[in-house]
Structure 1
Amino acid sequence: MKHLIWMVTALLLFGAANAQEKLPVIVPYNPLDIRDLYLDSSNHHTAFKPILHEDTSAMYTNPDTTKRSLFHRKLFNEHLLEYRNKDYNVFIDFLPDFQIGKSRDGSRTNWLNTRGASIQANIGTKFYFESYFFENQGKFPYYLDQYIRKNQIVPGQGGIKDYSDGKAFDYNYASALLSYTPNKYLNVTAGYGQNFIGDGYRSLILSDIQFSYPYLKLTGTLGNVQYTAMWAQFMDKHSQSFATAYDDLGYYKKWGVFHFLDWNVSKRLTIGFFDAVIWPDADSSGRKRGFDWSYMNPIIFLRSAEFSEGSSDNALVGLNAKFKLFPKTTIYGQLVLDEFKLKEVFGGKGWWANKQSAQLGFRSFDLFKVNKLDLQGELNVVRPYTYSYKSTLINYEHYNQSLAHPLGANFWEVLGIATYRIKRWYGRGELMYSQYGDDPDAATNYGHDISKPYTTHVSNYGNWIGQGVKTNLLYAQGTIAYVLNPKYNLRLETSLAARRVSNDITKTTDLIFSIGLRSTFRQFYYDF
């Protein structure tokens, strides 16, 4: 993978050096502008994110702001540092995230102190580069604090060190992206970050809830078809417990290859086909395997390759679809098959290896004819033991977090999200309810924790969603923000969240208030 990334980087720089056109630049959409793709009368490929697009505004300074003072422009309309030219642009920003709040009965003070920096650059329409770095200290609400201590990771943001005598955490993380678009048919991206496949808030195929990872992605577009092949390297943080000669090289690595074929059948209907294979870099005895070049062919049918290797690599297949029901309403869905035997699926006996998940949702825009009042609703269902495997060396997980849904498996979930934007004001409300089957102790495996080996399943038959300790999870959050600078989403934000978890063993309730100065378009998932 290292050699591949160096080759791609050299290719990017060569193409960039020859780019002299005074044309729109290629940059990623920020999440707040994705709605425009769904509202367009034509059909776009919206599933594999981040999505690159042409941006004409990035090339030139807005003439309406040049008469303002330098302080006003930098605070409200421009990047901190801007270097603009007909052939290239460079943007540099300082990215704060300062929050303080209360949780539980008001006795616990939470806070976050984040200092970040970013650089974004393009040369012509062919080359785009971005890099982000964040240094953080924080004290979190009780349920997040417990999760962090158990998994030794802040959700989506990396490993931790104790801070303030163990009462808070110190952590940092970074991301980067190099994109080369030689023509309208091909894009090559090398990055260190996250990817997302789907049209929903959650993804059951590949989500962006976890820590950054290195990847190489090739995307080809021809007519109504877009095809993406991606190779990535993940870390098995559980492997720290293995006492082998491999330990001094850090955590065990594992590799993944992902293929996604997205077909715009019509202006209303899009169907995407997905497959993936996860394989270990080394086994628990320390025997090295490394990158498997048999998976390098970008158009290979993965299940055949995996079978021909005589391996037990972890393979998944899936389907993603969306349909524009009305001009401003799109329905979408996903289906993932981790294991599939037709006889057992339709046998109705609850075979343990019926490992499937499904999603159904909708997006509605400009609700009640109110501009930028949007509503999203979603149902997610995941059977027990889905995404798990014989070992964490090969399961569908990276750095102690699922590559799919934050709740793992053995659950169903329904959620609704409403957003409203007017001028620089932004409001968001979320309501989520889930029911999952937890394990009564560490030795028992009812299929909720995907880091447990599926060989420890409780029974061969009679496995149903919610088995184990039936647990109800309710999460609600309301957020109001005033956007100071839309270039990097600098905003004053206040939020109130309520979380309640109840089962026959315990019941906990959290009420979490926070206020702060925030920036960037990062999205963290604390609703679990």
Structure 2
Amino acid sequence: MKKKYILLFTLSVLGWHLSFAQNPGEQYRLNDYKNSGDSSSFHSSLRDFIKRPQVTLPQDDSARKRSWMHRKIFKEHLLEYNHEDYTFYGDFLPDFQVGRSNKDITTWLNTRGFEVGGTLGKNFSFRSSFYENQGKFPEYLNAYTRANKVIPGQGQYKDYNGDAFDFNYATALLSYDANKFLNFQLGYDRNFIGDGYRSMLLSDNSFSYPFLKIVATVGKIQYTTMWAQFIDMRYPKASYDNGFRKKWGIFNYLDWNVSKKISVGVFSSIIWQDSDSTGKRGFDMSYINPIIFTRPVEYSVGSPDNAIMGLNAKYAISKNSTLYGQFVLDEFKLKEFTSGNGWWANKFGGQLGFRSNDIFKVKNLNILTEVNAARPYTYSQRTTLNNYGHYNQPLAHPYGANFVEWVNLADYQYKRWYLRGQVTYSQYGLDTAGVNFGKDINKSYETRADDYHNKIGQGLKTNLFYVQGTVGFLLNPKNNLRLEMSAATRRESNNQWKNNETFFSIGLRSTFRRFNYDL
């Protein structure tokens, strides 16, 4: 009976019209977030990037009898030292893929990466990674990359052989537990707040950035403050010597585990530009206090900074099933909202999702269904110097604004084999004839189409249907080294054009990176 459920469920998720496609970056694994009920000290909405997720496999005593080569390929880190006072690991992280698109394109990726990490004593941990890449993408990813001048989530590139890309990037994190209440992190990486596949508050969609984070956990309450510096690639450089223009951000998140079933989080952020027409501004000391409410401070100093507020909530229906959601508020006026005239500056969005693990009582069979939406012009500002973006990509949802999305995920793991499927349907409004209808957060809201009558999907109403499936065999759970074959189809259409693409890939992959290629 269990095998029957598995077969029927997998077929329904992968879809009857599944075509072959290239794997869309590292996969979001539902199995990594199994805990539905939060204990007093566990807070699922703030993703823990200190400890890397690892696939759990049955242990056997025969591992110690294996050869060194066998252990390094299938069981252990390439370098691994465990001492009473310190630990250290190091891995070579390959990502070699080759595939084919129906656009008569041979796709490929050649990544050589490494990661090192470890602990010093009981309170200090560290991690650092570096990746050197060359690759050729499907047509839609190629178009996105050249239009935005960045590889999704991986920064700038150089042309390689005319039709491919050469790029590299690095991450790092230092973490120190001052005591059982306080944790300090200094990093160059991405962050994520939420319980779902996407985040409308702060996601790992964009490129890495430097940050300082303080996490305080007292009983059922966890309070996080993060200061970060971002890059604006759109605004003209102040000078060649200074490089791209900078902007700063402060993020506060208070998460309260009301009970084992209910948790509620309150979010706020301020983005401000590093310099303006009067000269250098730099880091604003008004935002140095980690426990102050930043919105009144932003208003009191008369600044044009970008303030965003939000809520995150979760309810554990059962041991294995969870309802979750988010609400983000950029700007809002009650009078304009109740009038129902679609005022442009009523800028908000939200998320509603359901996640379940071990469904049908089948171990490691997991599902997620989630709806995300944002009104036009949400996250945008007068200039990109203080919009909610970094390195030409949104800091929240990869679509930006003016969209609604329904995403469905399922995965299943049996010993070292795993299956994953994704079906996503989205609708959004694109700009036409140079008119800003509110999807691109990198465009000034002062170029908006109209003050009133704004609604989700305005502009060139476009539908996106995306189906993807993956089958893989895990070689080493320590670094996620695996053999993988992936297939997908992407269909984007409106009343002016259609863009359909199917593609597939096979490869040897590793690491726990995640990139949003389902654009």
AA at the equivalent of 1:491: R
Deviations 1:309-358 (Å, cap 9, x if unpaired)?
Answer: 11010000000000001221100000000001111122211000010001
- Sort the Cα spacing of 1:199 and 1:492 in 2 relative to 1 into closer, same or farther, 3 A: same
1:172 maps onto 2:168 in alignment: yes
Distance 1:136 1:286 in 2: 40
- Uncovered stretches (5+) of structure 2, i.e. residues with no partner: 1-27
Secondary structure at 1:352 match in 2 = coil
AA at the equivalent of 2:295: R
Deviation at 1:504, TM superposition (A): 1.2
Kept in 1, the 8 Å contact 2:40–2:219? The answer is no
Tell me which of 80, 83, 100 is aligned to 1:82: 80
- Sort the Cα spacing of 1:65 and 1:333 in 2 relative to 1 into closer, same or farther, 3 A: same
Tell me which of 437, 443, 450 is aligned to 1:452: 443
Two-structure CA RMSD over aligned residues (Å): 2.0
Number of the residue aligned with 2:22: none
Number of the residue aligned with 1:521: 512
1:231 maps onto 2:231 in alignment: no
- Sort the Cα spacing of 1:57 and 1:464 in 2 relative to 1 into closer, same or farther, 3 A: closer
AA at the equivalent of 1:80: L
- Sort the Cα spacing of 1:447 and 1:131 in 2 relative to 1 into closer, same or farther, 3 A: same
Distance 1:53 1:446 in 2: 41
Deviations 1:430-473 (Å, cap 9, x if unpaired)?
Answer: 000000000113x2100011100001111111000000000000
1:132 maps onto 2:123 in alignment: no
Tell me which of 327, 349, 352 is aligned to 1:357: 349
Number of the residue aligned with 2:46: 48
Deviation at 1:63, TM superposition (A): 5.8
Kept in 1, the 8 Å contact 2:381–2:444? The answer is yes
AA at the equivalent of 2:210: P
Distance 2:452 2:178 in 1: 53
Tell me which of 247, 251, 259 is aligned to 1:266: 259
Tell me which of 112, 117, 120 is aligned to 2:117: 120
Distance 2:168 2:278 in 1: 29
Number of the residue aligned with 2:336: 344
Number of the residue aligned with 1:218: 214
- Sort the Cα spacing of 1:155 and 1:57 in 2 relative to 1 into closer, same or farther, 3 A: closer
Number of the residue aligned with 1:110: 107
Distance 1:56 1:514 in 2: 24
1:335 maps onto 2:327 in alignment: yes
Kept in 1, the 8 Å contact 2:37–2:262? The answer is no
- Sort the Cα spacing of 1:338 and 1:266 in 2 relative to 1 into closer, same or farther, 3 A: same
* TM-score using structure 2 length: 0.91
Secondary structure at 2:317 match in 1 = strand
* TM-score using structure 1 length: 0.90
AA at the equivalent of 2:101: S
- Higher deviation after alignment, 211-220 or 62-71: 62-71
Deviation at 1:426, TM superposition (A): 1.3
The count of corresponding residues between Structure 1 and Structure 2 is 490
AA at the equivalent of 2:334: L
Secondary structure at 1:436 match in 2 = strand
- Uncovered stretches (5+) of structure 1, i.e. residues with no partner: 1-29
Number of the residue aligned with 1:15: none
Equivalence map 1:234-383=2 (5 Å): 234-239=230-235, 241-242=236-237, 244=238, 246-283=239-276, 285=277, 287-383=279-375
Kept in 1, the 8 Å contact 2:268–2:310? The answer is yes
Tell me which of 176, 191, 205 is aligned to 2:187: 191
Number of the residue aligned with 2:64: 66
- Sort the Cα spacing of 1:390 and 1:55 in 2 relative to 1 into closer, same or farther, 3 A: closer
Distance 2:61 2:113 in 1: 29
